[in-house]
Amino acid sequence: MSTHSQQNVIFTVKSGGKLAGRARVPGDKSISHRSIMLGSLAEGVTKVSGFLEGEDSLATLNAFKSMGVKIDGPENGKVTINGVGLHGLQKPDDDLYLGNSGTSMRLMSGLLAGQSFNTVLTGDKSLSGRPMRRIIDPLLQMNVGISAAQNGTSPLKIIGGKKLEGIEYTLPVASAQVKSCLLLAGLYAQGKTCVTEPAPTRDHTERMLQGFGYEVMRKGSTVCLRGGDRLQSTSIDVPADISSAAFFMVGASIAEGSDLVLEHVGINPTRTGVIDILKLMGASIELSNESEAGGEPVADIHIRSRQLKGITIPEELVPLAIDEFPVLFVAAACARGTTILTGARELRVKESDRIQVMADGLKVMGIDAEPTADGIVIQGGQMTGGTVVSHGDHRISMSFAMAALKCTAPVVIEDCANVNTSFPGFTELATGLGLAVSSEVSD
């Protein structure tokens, strides 16, 4: 269990400044998780480069190690996985502790459903409050033996040795994690498993399954696979994470005189909502050096500062930018006019209630931000600075750090230990690009 999550890490950020230079942000978290999961279940040796060495993806890596998979690294983002095949995992000696990682818990529930042994999945306080019914209900339809705590949260108990049946399932809420969980269970199910989405969500699982030689069929908003095939080892170059790049995209957009290039960023079309939304607000963003890495499109992103304008965010872009909204709210606070977000109820059940927590922090900084049931209304204005609480949510911490670029006084952010879950080295990289941020630990 990680001990340092008990400490209160505090960020102090001086006001003003600009972002300039070139940087490569850490590897994509979603793809890092999946590379370990599928690499472990493949036959042969899978080599991964660009792996995100953050606590969330390391939780996934350690879970598979404890199920008997030999994994070397990570060292400088390089990981070597000696795959054991779909049926080669061994029963772990202990419960699998997944820290703060909802992705690990939801996706692993699917693939552990097909094993011959029982497992228990646990997490930290934040993860233990996140809703798991959304995977449990469809898994039960597949004849998975799974149960949760009374309120539908972890610990999750999974009973192995069951014969799984493929199902056709329509997601009530667009969620890549639920879709991925069911597809991974489908690898072990009889017949065909089909998932239909109400709106497009990230498709990293489908792309990577195909990269490992597993046939995935896609028709419109439905994705299907048949159980019983095999995964063949491959090489994966993990692109830089667009969710991590988003903080710097917004920072460079709002801070006058900024000129920044972010290198080798994943621009999977199911993840580029943040670029589309910023462009609608008038941001100056150009893509260059477009190529493919391991089935995933990548590009360099060039951002220059520009006065943004408030917009009504199109609802079809919401699932394509779901993790980037905390920092997009900062962009809205710096824009001329009003920004309105609707159709984003999902933000209330992330690592924190991101709508409420961001609204509270923006109000501390003198911005008029009114939460609604499924979104927020933000009036652009001048941010003052002040002390805000991130509620242990890494994306909230980094969003308020970027806000300081446009504040009249310093910003102090409490409870930032979890920044390491997705962005190790954030303060060093940000400082190198021109953000005056320091961090200290208090008891």
* Structure confidence by residue, pLDDT tens digits, 175-217: 999 999 999 999 999 999 999 999 888 899 999 999 999 999 9
**Burial per residue of 294-332, b for 16 or more beta-carbon CB atoms within 10 angstroms, e otherwise:** bbbbbbbbbbebbebbbbebeeebbbbbbbbbbbbbbbb
Please name the residue that has the structure tokens 């923006």. 362
Which pLDDT value is given to residue 430?
97
* 53-67, 249-263, 332-346, 411-425: least confident range: 411-425
Contact 401, 391 (CB under 8 A): no
2 has pLDDT over 70? no
Dihedral sign for Cα atoms in the order 268, 416, 408, 371: positive
Q: 3-class DSSP state for residue 103?
A: helix
161 has pLDDT over 60? yes
Pairing verdict, β 296-304 and 284-293? antiparallel
Which pLDDT value is given to residue 4?
39
94 has pLDDT over 50? yes
Question: Rounded to an integer, what distance in angstroms lies between the CA atom of residue 210 and that of residue 178?
Answer: 19
Report the share of the chain in percent with pLDDT over 70.
98
> Which of 148, 145, 146 is closest to 161 using CA atoms?
145
Q: What end-to-end distance do the CA atoms of the chain give, in Å?
A: 19
Dihedral sign for Cα atoms in the order 198, 200, 204, 206: positive
Q: 3-class DSSP state for residue 264?
A: strand
| Cα Rg, the chain, nearest whole Å | 21
> Which of 245, 256, 351 is closest to 298 using CA atoms?
245
**Average pLDDT rounded to a whole number, residues 120-125:** 94
- What is the DSSP secondary structure assignment for residue 187, as one 8-state letter? T
Task: Say yes or no: domain 4-27+239-442 is CATH 3.65.10.10.
Answer: yes
Question: Rounded to an integer, what distance in angstroms lies between the CA atom of residue 348 and that of residue 391?
Answer: 13
**Average pLDDT rounded to a whole number, residues 223-250:** 96
The model carries a pTM of: 0.82
Q: What is the length of the chain?
A: 443
191's torsion region: left (phi>0), alpha (psi -120 to 50) or beta? left
427 has pLDDT over 70? yes
5 has pLDDT over 70? no
62 has pLDDT over 70? yes
* H or E element, residue 376: strand 375-379
Instruction: Output phi, psi for 24, to 5 deg.
Output: -115, 115
- What is the tens place of the pLDDT at every residue in 302-324? 999 999 999 999 999 998 999 99
Q: How does DSSP assign 329-343, residue by residue? A: HHHHHHSBSEEEE-S
Which pLDDT value is given to residue 319?
87
- How far is Cα of residue 206 from the mean position of the Cα atoms in its chain? 16
Question: Rounded to an integer, what distance in angstroms lies between the CA atom of residue 405 and that of residue 237?
Answer: 33
Which pLDDT value is given to residue 6?
59
Q: 3-class DSSP state for residue 301?
A: strand
Q: 3-class DSSP state for residue 394?
A: helix
Looking at the domain 29-237, which fold is it?
UDP-n-acetylglucosamine1-carboxyvinyl-transferase; Chain (3.65.10)
Q: 3-class DSSP state for residue 224?
A: strand
> Which of 38, 167, 178, 184 is closest to 111 using CA atoms?
184
Question: Rounded to an integer, what distance in angstroms lies between the CA atom of residue 255 and that of residue 21?
Answer: 14
Task: Name the active-site residue from 124, 323, 393, 415.
Answer: 323
377 has pLDDT over 90? yes
**Average pLDDT rounded to a whole number, residues 253-268:** 97
Question: Rounded to an integer, what distance in angstroms lies between the CA atom of residue 396 and that of residue 393?
Answer: 5
Mean pLDDT for the chain overall: 94
Strand residues in 50-138 grouped as ranges (E): 70-75, 78-84, 96-97, 119-122
Please report, for residues 277, 342, 357, 397, 403, the alpha-carbon distance to residue 375 in angstroms, rounded to integers and kept in the order given. Answer: 15, 5, 12, 20, 20
Which pLDDT value is given to residue 351?
74
In the residue annotation, 237 being an active-site residue is answered as no
> Which of 301, 307, 330 is closest to 400 using CA atoms?
330
pLDDT band at 126 (very low <50, low <70, confident <90, very high): confident
CA atoms lying within 13 Å on the CB side of residue 243? 23
Question: Rounded to an integer, what distance in angstroms lies between the CA atom of residue 303 and that of residue 349?
Answer: 31
Contact 380, 333 (CB under 8 A): yes
> Which of 424, 398, 321, 421 is closest to 33 using CA atoms?
421
Q: Do domains 4-27+239-442 and 29-237 have the same CATH topology?
A: yes
Contact 48, 81 (CB under 8 A): yes
Domain boundaries, the chain: 4-27+239-442, 29-237
Which pLDDT value is given to residue 158?
97
Which pLDDT value is given to residue 7?
78
Q: Which residue did the predictor score with more confidence, 349 or 164?
A: 164
